[in-house]
Each structure stands twice: as structure tokens, then as C-alpha cells.
Amino acid sequence: MTTNKRLSSSPAGRIPGNVTPGGALDVSGLPSYAFGPRSLMWWGTLGVIAIEATVFAMMVATYFYLRSQAPGWPLGVQPPLLVWGTVNTLILLASVVPNHFTKHAAESHDLAGVRLGMCLCILFALAFLVVRIFEFRSLNVAWDANAYGSAVWTLLGLHTVHLVTDFADSLVLAVLMFTGPLEGRRFVDVAENAMYWDFVVFAWLPIYAVIYWAPRF
Amino acid sequence: MNAIQNALQSAGPQAAQIEQLWWLTLAVCAIAFVPTLGALLWSLWRAPRATEATPADTAIVSQPERRTRSVVVSAVVISGIGLAFLLLASVRTDHALAQLPLEDALNIQVTGHQWWWDIRYDDPDPSKIFSTANEIYIPVGRPVVITLLSDDVIHSLWVPNLHGKKDLIPGQTATMQIRADKAGTYRGQCAEFCGLQHAFMAFTVTALPAADFDAWRAAQLEPAAQPTDEKAKRGEQLFTSGSCMMCHAIQGTTANARMAPNLTHVASRRTLAAGTVANTPQNLAAWITDPQKIKPGVNMPAHHLPGGDLDALVTYLGTLK
Amino acid sequence: MTRRSQASVKRTAPAAGAAALLEQTWRDPPGLVGWLSAINHKSIGRRFIVSAFGFFVAGGLLAATMRLQLARPDNHLVGPDLYNQIFTLHGTTMMFLFAVPVMQAMAVYLVPLMIGARSTAFPRMTAYAFWMYLFGGLMIFAAFLLGMGPDAGWFSYVPLAGPDYGPGKRNDFWAQLITFTEVSGLLISIDIITTVLRLRAPGMTFARIPLFVWAMLVTAFMIIFAMPAVMLGSTMLIMDRLVSTHFFNYAEGGDVLLWQHLFWFFGHPEVYFIFIPGLGFMSAIIATFARRPVFGYPAMVMSIMATSFLAFGLWVHHMFATNVPELGKAFFTAMSMMIAVPTATQIFCWIATLATGRVNFRTPLLFVLGFFFILVIGGLTGLMLGSVPIDLQVHDTYFVVAHLHYVLIGGAVFPLFGAWYYWFPKITGRMMDERLGKWNFWLFFAGFNVAFYPMHHLGLAGMPRRVYTYPADMGWGPLNLLSTVGAVTIAVSVLLFIVNAVRSRRHGAIATDNPWGASSLEWAAASPPAAYNFLAPPVVGGREPLWEASKDVGAPTYVTGLALDVREALATTPLDARPDHRYIFPQPSIWPFVSAVATTIMFIASIFSPWAIVWGSLLVAVPVTAWFWPKRAETEKHLALEKRP
């Protein structure tokens, strides 16, 4: 009863997308890629997001654990300046617009739209990476000053690592969209990249709250 | 003289509570183990034999196996009841451990070091505070509150005959309540891995009748004996002028450092280096000369003294009863 | 459209030609570069299993050295410094380089076959994960051989492992090993989850997934939520050590117990993601050798899930001797007791299966029966450890050493050896020797109990863990000697296994496709399977595809219409496995290997200079970009098959 025998004993019915009862399931008519949860890459990206969200959650938990053990918070230093963090939050939120524009362009196989959208996204990425430098400078504490400093630097650093990798991913993908070789599946890659971008933006909001507002309460 | 170190030979109420719970849990577990394994062996013995060619029995997939199901469900329910019982017993014992009456408690502070124990007997009257090392003495029948601190890494204080263990954590303070109801010497050792010589970080707890304990305490409160003979005097001079006093203290002399065991009454101790070797003049001389040979990694450096000086130093330390 | 019809011609090629073409499409490329470029899940799976077994033997030799040192009191075979490195590396190896990876390795090999797929979902990532694992393991053993082995225990408690009390680079190697193995473990988990959810044969609904695949799916989810804790913890540790952060420095607002929370939040679930795959092996083997499906499939699946949830509520029971609040402790005791219920449920279901089946006593079944005796003892001592008062006495003593080996060897290693005997014919095409197999089992079983049973008594008699020697007058000598005799017996039994495997691989009896008369899909493939696994991917019509006729009346029995000259397979929907789209897998590539080499350079260099993270990232970015960059020729082929959604 091996499948090998099955194949040799019953010739394949070749009606695209149709089923031959007791025989073959012909899948040649099915699409060769799909967007969103139908795509395997979507699940892979979701896995990465789950892991990284867990890391962020653990780091936030660490922050509050250290705070719960401390006599005062933020351990004798000034809370971070609000201005650059808030500016960056706005830039990150604004980047959602070109990001979703890119995603929709990808889903409708609009190559010109994808190229435009990705270029816009990369400009936004450059903007928030530059502002991020000022954020580190406005933390009012060094990483080796005390445990509070270590925690905020690590939290901001972890998120920055995500910004940098997302920037690099997008850059490589954008270049590919200009040079090729292209096939339909590359639009799926663009759509999944946009999903990851959303994660990096929305993961920032709780981190922003913890870094900039938690020390004020 | 063999100090005992055994969790199933309790010498006080705390260890006794745990020992009781242990036997109860063991009994419940045995009651679970025997029928489970019995059922397995019985099934194997009774089941018909087969080979890989035997057709598989798949009829059972479509028809419910009611009898088997009720047996399995009952087994799960019984296990659940057993577990609930064990949980109750455990919580009850835990509660009892926290209820040790503490009136008139003796307060001792133990600080863990790599790899020895600093022991300080506290008292509201500062003149009655004294320090010793590695050997704890307590009165029989009187509760003792031990405050646990650490100066370097995590250690764990464990005297199985008296109680379970409690960690000494740098930056934190913990306490442990014990009482010995039987006189005797109980051995303990560090139970949390603490580096190179974790294996030789032992101590003893000696429970003495109240009168004996008071006598011991009075003796400990005395400053070190003044040396009388010339050799011992030379030894004292070597101690207080050499590098010994950089780390050690001897009450009644100028040596008062706290980096290493307090040696005020070192000659009254049974062992050297936290239970590493017996306290004999030969071992003491060998220890001073080359501690790394006896306890590799220990913080004490080697002291290659001329023969006469070594002898004088050992003689002096031998007078510190 | 002309391109499309070309592809269609190949699809309708005769079966014999189809097999040759598929083999050519799916096999690893030839030569050394080809070997390093391999991404076939079976090649990677085999290498993974063999590497993990290698680390198991290395960890076992370390254990044997410890047993020889402890065989008599005041022994001087190894000194404290070497002993501490040995026990640290033994625990680290067995947990991070053997137990978790070997289960994932088995999954990489078996899961696609069991679900009727042709590959894991992300085969290049699988290859990268394997190389990362291997390089990490080689790094830590190289450090050990150079006298820089970690020496603060597999749990690396701070401050002992921190900058003040753990000088040198020893513990940095440890922290970095964690990064290597976590990267590997997490990537494999994503791979397995996507494989199971999206590549199952049509008709293999959630209710028809084999129990082993369930176990691996649940394990992968657990890893995703548990491993980040230790990864973050080890990053904090190495930052405290290298760039003077203060996470664990209480003098600057840090906290010593923070490490323990992070470590055990991972460390306790870890026991279960070693144990749950073992349960999967048990179910697969018991069904085959009892000649019937496992009793209570829904209960089995629910139990695995319950175990995985409860496993996250146990971590504090490693910290009962610290200052955690009393009420918290009672909660963790309750959880520790509760987790016994799903395990007991599974044990009862298996006994019911054996009781109502017809039993075929072969070596795989023997190892599974060993599980019952050993794991049940280990589980019961686990209940004792879950109780706060008893734990305060036996925590960090040899009682715990006995307990954890009863659980891990009984619960995971015995089923694993059974699994090796069981799937060896599938992997190699030859049967293992039964007589040697039975000797292997009985020596292992007897040796194990002689080695570890006495440790229960030693722990109660006051012997702490992690001591390099003990004074003669403690009276621990005789039982320790007995334990060493048992350890030597285990070593002999493992040697017999190696002899058996090596000999059987060349001279064993030729295995048929389904030598044990089993039910799951991997036994429908050839032994050993062709590069493409199934000539025509199967359609599943029941829970026991090789034992019963399809329950879906009028349903097809196999899939057709997939390309033969491109790595194409069918992706199905996550829940009910309906055909969704044709998924094109990547070609073999050297870049995952090169990327792993670059990542290894970055990780090791960062032990010596934090700047290595910066230039190392650039070094890694190059091969990773090359890995991602599509090839024009392949794109052409894909375009020929392309059909928009």
C-alpha cells in the first residue's frame, strides 16, 4: 500500500483544480504563491515577531522588576528628555502610511507603486535612525552608571537593533525591486517586510512609554 | 568524633516536621507507584503476542472503548485526589515551619564568604557581641534566629538534622529559625555552588545544655589569652607585626581585620579552613606554610616562615583556647 | 503560455522518469561545496542527529570522569578547577547541545515525512540553524580544551559567573554558547511550526496529526516563548561582564535573583521541551508495537498542551531556598503537583493501549517500557521536590541529581534510544541487530538504576551537589562507588549501541519500507526515503493512514500536478489541511553555511571586543544578502510555473 504503487496503478487525471475520486488530486491549477496568512513567509515572519515580542516583554518585565527592588526610581538621575523620543514616535507612526501604501501596491502587483513606497519608507527609516542618536543622548544616564541606566540603554538598544535590521532588509528589497530578477513571489516578500515594519513601529509604543514616561510616575 | 549530617535523623522540631512530611509523601508515592507498574506488568503479561505482520486493530478507533475509558478516568481522578492530599500536607507543614515559637530567641548572624562562615552572636548589649568562625554553638531547647548575609557570591546554609537550607544572597537579608531539642554536634555545609572550594565550606552546629552554652559564651566573650612563655610571646609578635593581621582578628590584640576568620579562640575549634582538616599543630603549621596545597584557591597566601618563627606562631595560636 | 506548457509536459512524464527527475531536483548537490550547500531536511536531520549524539558521548565522558573522581573519598584524580569545568560543561552539553537539539533534529528529519511533505518550510534556515548549533558546540569544547571552559555551573548563577567572581573569558564563552544554541533552537522552532501548520498532506486535519508531530509542534511553541528569557539573560550577563552594565550588581541597583528568574523561566519549561518530544516517541512506538492506535487520542493531545502551559508556572520551585514570598511558594507547589495530572493521564492511556493491544516485544518497545519504570520514579520524586519543606532539605543535593536523571534519562533518553532503534531502518534502509539491541537495553537499564538510585540516599544523607570530593568520615564512599560502577555499565551499553549502529549501517538486514508494520506516513516512503520523500504526495483520509481505509468517501488518494524539475510542493490550510497553493522551495545554497561562519566569527570576536558586534554585523550582512538574492535562472523557471493568487 505505498504511494508509489498508487501512482503507477492509476494515471493522473489532469483536470486543473479538480479531484478524481479515489485517484489524484490535481493541484496544477492552484496559485503558485499567496499573500497574508496564506503565505508560508507570513508564518515565518509571525514566528520571528513572536520571539522578538517576547524578548521586549522580558526586558520590560526586567525594568519593572529592578524598579520594584529599588529604593527610588530612576536611581538618582533625571528622567530622559521627552522631546527626541516623542519626535521619533511621531516619525515612526507617520512611516506607517508609506508602509501600508507599499503593502497595498505589493498586493496588487503594482511594481511602480512598490518602488515609490519603498523609497519613501527608506527615507523615513533614515530619519528615525538619525533621531535615534539624539534619543540615546537624551537619556540622561550612561549604561554603566547604574542598573536603571543599563535597563533603559538595553531597551532602547534592542529596539534600535530592530530599526537597523528592518532598514537593511528594506534597502536590499528595494534594490531588488529595481534591478530584478523579479517574479510574483517578490511582492509577497514586500508585503511580509511591511508586516514586520508594522511590528517594529507598534512594539515601539510600549517601549516609548516605559523609557520616557515610566520614570515620571 | 563524627558529626552527623542527615536529613532523616532530625534533632529539632523543624527537621522533624519535614521528616514527617517526607515519610508521608514517600508512602503516598509508593501507593501510586506499585499499582501503576503492576498494571503495566499485568497488561504485558496478559496481552496476546504479535509480530510486525500482525494486522493492526483499527476497529477500536471507530467504536468507543467504554470500559477502558472508565478505568483510565478513575485512575486519573484517584491521582488527582492523591496530589491534592500531598499539596495540603505540604502547605500544612510549610505553615508549621513558620510557626516556631521565638520567645527568648538567640540571635546569630552568619555571613558567607568564599569559603568559610563568619559567625556573630548578637546581643542588645554591645559588650556581649562576639565573632567566631565555622563552628556554631546553640543552647538545647531554645529557639535560634539566624540572619543570613553574604559578602561575595550566593551560599546556602544547611544543617539537615535541624532544618532545610536557606540561601545567603549578596544584597539581601534572610532569616532562618531553628531549635535543637537534642544535644549533639550536627554538621552542615554550603549547599549552593560557590566556586572552587564549595566542597570544603563546612561548619558544625553544636547544641549544648543551657548551662554549658552559657559557659561557652562567657569563654568566647573573653579576649584572647595573654601568652606567658617566650615562644608564644614571639608568636604573638609575629602575628601582630606580620601579614596575619591584615585579614584576621584576635580580640585583645591590635589585630582586628574582618576579611578572614576571627582567631580569638581558634585553638578551641575542631577543624581548620571550614572543615577541611583537623585542628592539630601539624596541620596548622602546614596550613600557614602552604594553604593552597590543602585547599587550592583559598584566599590565604602562603607564608614560608623560618622554622623557629613558624613554631612560635603555631605555639601562640595553640594557646588561644 | 509556452513556458507553462513545457512545465505541463514534465508533469505528465511516466512514473519511472518522474522519479529520476524528482531525485535530480531534490537531491543535494555533489562535491564538498555541494555537501556544505545541502538543505534537504533529511541530510540536515541526519547531520544534526549524529552531531547531537557526538555531544551526548562527549557529555557522557565528562560524566564518567566525574564518577571516577567521586568513586572514593578524598580522591585526587581531578582537582577542583578541572572538576568545576567538567560538571559545568557536562550540564551545559547535555541540556543545550544534546537534549533540546536532538529532539529538534529528530523533528527536522521525521516531521516532513510524517505529514506527507517534501521538505521543512524553510530548508535554508534549517541548514543555517544546524551550522550555528554545531559551531557553538565546537566553540565551547575548544574553549574547554584550551583551559578556558566555563566553571560556574550550567545555570551560571551570578555573582559567581559575573565580572567580580568569574574572571577571565570562561563564562563569556558560556554566555555566547547560549546565544548560538538559542538562535539555532528558535529558528528550528519557527521552521517546525510553519512546516506542521502549512505543509501537511491534504486531509490531515488537526484531529489526524500524529501524536509525535503534535508533541513537536507544542515543543516548538514552548521554545519560542521560553528561550528568549535565557537569551536576554545571557546577553545581560555578558554585558555586565564586558561593558560594565549593572543588571546583576546589587551595589548599583541591580539584583542577583533577576538572573535566577530569567534563567528558570526558561530552565523549567526546558525540562518539558526535552520531555514532551519523548512523549511523542512513546506514542509512536507504543501504537506500532501494541498493534493498535494509542488509546485516548484527544486526551493525549490535551495532556501535551496542558503540560506545556503548566510548565511555565513552575520556575520558582528552583528558588524555594531564596527569599521569595511564602504565598508565591504555595502557588508554585500547587502548579508542580498539577502538572503531574496530564503526565499521569498519558501514562494511563499508554498502559490501556498495551493492555488492550497485541504486543510485539522488540528493542524499541523495551526502551519504551524502561520509560515507565524510570520516569514514574522520577515523576514521584519530582512531587517531593515540588513540596517546599521537602525541597528545602533535598534541594541542591544528590537527591536532585538522582531526580533529574530519572526524569531526563527515563523521560527522554530511553524513548530516544527506542526511537533510534525504531527509525534506524527508515533512515538507513537497514535493520539494527536485535540481540545487541537487547543487550544495549538491559545494560543501560541496569546500569542506570545502579548509577542513580543510590544518589537518592546520598542526598538524604547530606551529600550536596557539585562537590569535587568529600571526606572519608562522611560515610558516602560505598554508595558513590556503587554509583560509579553503574556509570561504567551505562558507558558499556552506549558503546554497544555505537557498535550496533555502525555495523548495522553496513551489514544489517535490508529493511522494507514498513518493517514494523506501522501506521504513519513516513513508512509509506522508501527506506531510506528518496530525496523527494514521496513520488506522489499522499492525501490523508484518517488518523492511521497506513492501517485504515480513507474515511473521506470519494476523496483522492494522492496529489498530482506538481512540477518535477522545480522544488515545488503543496501548501495546505493550517486547520483542516485543504489545498491552498503550490509552494516553491529554494535551491541548495552555500550561503547559509557562509552566513553561519560569519555569525560565528562575530559572536566569538564579541567576547574579546564589543566592537565586533558592529563590524561583525556588516560581515554577516553580506552572505545573508547573497542568500536572499534570487538567481535569474531560477526565477525564469518559477515564472514558467507562476500563477497569480
State the pLDDT at residue B63.
77
Q: Give dist(CA C172, CA C180) in Å, integer.
A: 12
Partner residue opposite A34 with nearest CB, options C561, C628, C645: C645
Name B3's Cβ contacts closer than 8 Å, sequence gap at least 6.
B185, B186, B187, B204
The DSSP string of A161-191 is HHHHHHHHHHHHHHHHHHH----THHHHHHH
pLDDT for res C550: 85
Asked whether residue C192 is assigned to any structural domain, the reply reads yes
Residue A2's closest chain C neighbor by CA? C524
To the nearest whole angstrom, how far is the Cα of C372 from the nearest Cα of chain A?
34
Q: Is the dihedral of CA C333, C334, C339, C344 positive or negative?
A: positive
Residues of B in contact with C543 (CB under 8 A): 61
Distance from CA of B298 to the nearest CA of C (A): 11
For B241-267, what is each residue's pLDDT tens digit? 988 999 999 999 999 999 999 999 999
The per-residue pLDDT for A137 is 95
Interface test with C, best of A30, A109, A189 (most C CBs within 10 A): A30
Distance, CA of B237 to CA of C488 (rounded, Å): 56
Judged by CB atoms closer than 8 Å, whether chains meet at B164 and C389 is answered as: yes
Contacts by C324-327, CB closer than 8 A, 24 or more apart = C324/C257, C326/B94, C326/B98
Chain B nearest CA to C460, separation (Å): 5
C-alpha cell at C575: 486547520
Contacts of B195 (CB under 8 A, 6+ apart): B114, B115, B153, B297, C84, C160, C165
Q: How far does C486 lie from chain A, in Å, by closest CA?
A: 42
CA B162/CA B185 separation, integer angstroms: 11
Backbone angles phi, psi at B153, to 5 degrees: -110, -175
Instruction: Say whether C255 and A168 touch across the interface (CB within 8 A).
Output: no
Chain B residues with CB under 8 Å of C544 CB are 56, 58, 61
Closest CA to C577 of C176, C202, C43: C202
> Residue A138 carries which DSSP code?
T
What are the domain boundaries of chain A? 1-30, 36-216
Hey, is B256 helix, strand or coil?
strand
Q: Do C15 and A13 touch (CB under 8 A)?
A: no
Domain count, chain C: 1
Asked if residue B13 has pLDDT above 60, the reply is yes
Q: Is C540 within a domain?
A: no
Percent of chain C with pLDDT over 90: 91
Q: What is the pLDDT of residues B169-214, one digit of tens each?
A: 999 999 999 999 999 999 999 999 999 999 999 999 999 999 999 9
| Closest chain B residue by Cα to residue C287 | B56
- The cell numbers describing C268, all together, are 523549567
Q: Please report the pLDDT score of residue A22 as a whole number.
A: 64
> What does the alpha-carbon distance between residue C223 and residue C133 come to, in Å, rounded to a whole number?
15
Angstroms from C449 CA to nearest CA on chain B: 16
**Residue of C161, C172, C469, C64 whose CA lies nearest to B197:** C469
DSSP state of C401: H
User: Which CATH number characterizes residue C45's domain?
Assistant: 1.20.210.10
Cell readout for A19 is 479531484
Residues of B within 8 A of C153 (CB-CB) are: 193
Q: Do A34 and C580 touch (CB under 8 A)?
A: yes
Q: What is the DSSP letter of A24?
A: E
Can you give the pLDDT at residue C152? Answer: 96
Dump pLDDT digits (tens) for B59-77: 877 777 889 999 999 999 9
Rg of chain A, C-alpha, whole Å: 24
Per-residue model confidence as pLDDT tens digits over A144-166: 999 999 999 999 999 999 999 99
Q: Where are the alpha helices (DSSP H) in C290-311?
A: 297-310
Query: Which residues in chain A touch residue C224, judged by CB atoms under 8 angstroms apart?
Result: 47, 50-51, 54
For residue B164, pLDDT over 70 is answered with: yes
Q: Mean pLDDT in chain B? A: 94
B75 C-beta neighbours (distance < 10 Å), count: 21
Predicted pLDDT of residue C10? 37
Residues 153-172 of B with CB under 8 A from C: 153-154, 156, 158, 160, 163-167, 169-172
C192 lies within 8 A of chain A by CB: no
Vertex B32 angle, CA B28 and B34, to 5°: 115
Interface test with C, best of A64, A109, A162, A183 (most C CBs within 10 A): A183
pLDDT of residue C4: 35
Instruction: Verify cis geometry, omega within 30 degrees of 0, for the bond prior to B45.
Output: no
C566 touches A: beta carbon within 8 Å = no
CB contact under 8 A, B152 and C292: no
**CA distances for C447 relative to C452, C453, C491, angstroms:** 8, 10, 9
Count of C-beta atoms within a 10 Å radius of residue B31: 12
Q: 3-state DSSP call for residue C15?
A: helix
Instruction: Give the position of cell 516623542.
Output: A86
Give the least confident one: A7-16, B44-53, B89-98: A7-16
Query: Would the CB atoms of C517 and B56 count as touching at under 8 Å?
Result: yes
Residue of B nearest to C399 (CA): B7
Alpha-carbon distance values, B100 to A96, B141, B177, C410, C472 (Å): 63, 12, 7, 40, 35
Instruction: Name the one residue in this structure whose C-alpha cell is 532530625.
Output: B10
Cell matching residue C170: 570562561
Query: What pLDDT is stored for residue C329 in this prediction?
Result: 84
Q: Please, which residues have CB within 8 angstroms of residue C374's CB and are 6 or more apart in sequence?
A: C406, C409, C410, C411, C414, C445, C448, C449
Mutation to test the C interface, candidates B14, B41, B58, most C Cβ within 10 Å? B58
Could you tell me if residue C412 is inside a domain?
A: yes
Kindly give, in sequence order, each residue whose CB lies less than 8 Å from that of residue C26, ignoring residues fewer than 6 positions away. C40, C118, C119, C530, C531, C532, C567
- C-beta atoms of C380 and B32 within 8 A: yes
- Contact present, C295 and B65 (Cβ < 8 Å): yes
Mean pLDDT of A20-46: 90
Window C:411-450, CB contacts with A under 8 Å: none
Using an 8 Å CB-CB cutoff, list chain C residues near B53.
Answer: 517
Contact across the interface for A24 and C631, Cβ inside 8 Å = no
Residues 6+ apart with CB under 8 A from C632: A180, A181
Q: Which residues of C357-386 are buried (b: 16+ CB within 10 A; e: fewer)?
A: bbbbebbbbbbbbbbbbbbbbbbbbbbbbb
Q: B36: closest CA among C605, C391, A51, C355?
A: C355
Segments in chain C below pLDDT 70:
1-16
For residue C376, give the nearest of B36, B44, B83 by CB distance: B36
- H or E element: which one contains C4? helix C2-11
Would the CB atoms of A48 and C562 count as touching at under 8 Å? no
Decide if C157 is inside a domain. yes
Q: Between chains, do C337 and B167 touch, taking CB under 8 Å as contact? A: no
Domain that holds residue C246: 25-524+587-633
C-alpha cell at C594: 557562509
Minimum Cα–Cα distance from B93: chain C residue: C389
- Residues A62, C232: C-beta atoms closer than 8 Å: yes
How many residues are recorded in chain C?
Answer: 645
From chain B residues 237-266, the ones with a CB under 8 A of any chain C CB are none
Backbone angles phi, psi at C20, to 5 degrees: -65, -40
Kindly indicate the confidence band of residue A16, based on its pLDDT and cuts at 50, 70 and 90. very low
Closest by CA to C585, choosing from C642, C508, C638, is C638
Amino acid at B60: I
**Beta partners for residue A79, in sequence order:** none
The one-character DSSP state at B114 is T
| Confidence band for A13, pLDDT divided at 50, 70 and 90 | very low
C-alpha cell at C450: 545502579
Q: Which of A58, A66, A180 sits opposite C253 (nearest CB)?
A: A66
* CATH superfamily, domain at A36-216: Cytochrome c oxidase, subunit III, four-helix bundle (1.20.120.80)
Residue A12 has pLDDT above 70, yes or no: no
Burial class of residue B124, CB neighbours in 10 A (0-12, 13-18, 19+) = exposed
Instruction: Please say if the pLDDT value at position A103 is more than 90.
Output: yes
Q: CA of B81: which chain C residue's CA is closest?
A: C341
Burial C596-631 (b: 16+ CB within 10 A, else e): bbbbbbbbbbbbeeeebeeebbebbeebbbebbebe
Mutation pick from C154, C329, C346, C390 vs chain B, by most beta carbons of B within 10 Å, is C390
Q: Subunits with at least 3 CB pairs below 8 A relative to chain B?
A: C
Report the alpha-carbon distance of residue C198 to residue B167 in Å, rounded.
49
pLDDT at C12: 42
Q: Are the C-beta atoms of residues C224 and A51 closer than 8 Å to each other?
A: yes
* C174's grid cell: 558560556
CB within 8 Å of chain A, chain C residues 581-600? 581-584
